[in-house]
Amino acid sequence: MLQNKANPTINKSTGLPRKRFYRARAHSNPLSDSNFPVPISPSHVDYSLHYPQSLPSANRTDTFNKIEFADIGCGFGGLLISLATLFPETLMIGMELRDKVTEYVKERILGLRVASPGQYQNVSVVRTNSMKYIPNYFEKGQLSKMFFLFPDPHFKEKNHRRRVISPHLLDEYAYVLQVGGIIYTITDVEELGAWMKSCLQSHPMFEPLSEMELEADPVVKLLSSATEEGQKVARNGGQTFQAVFRRITPPS
Active-site residue set? 152
Question: Which of left, alpha, beta for 24 (phi over 0: left; psi -120 to 50: alpha)?
Answer: beta
Choose among 104, 103, 184, 181: nearest CA to 151. 184
- CB hemisphere CA count around 54 (13 angstroms): 25
Q: DSSP code of 241?
A: E
Residues 6+ apart with CB under 8 A from 243: 183, 185, 186, 193, 196, 197, 200, 208
| Maximum alpha-carbon separation in the chain | 63
Residues 6+ apart with CB under 8 A from 52: 121
DSSP secondary structure string for all residues of 180-200 = EEEEEEEES-HHHHHHHHHHH
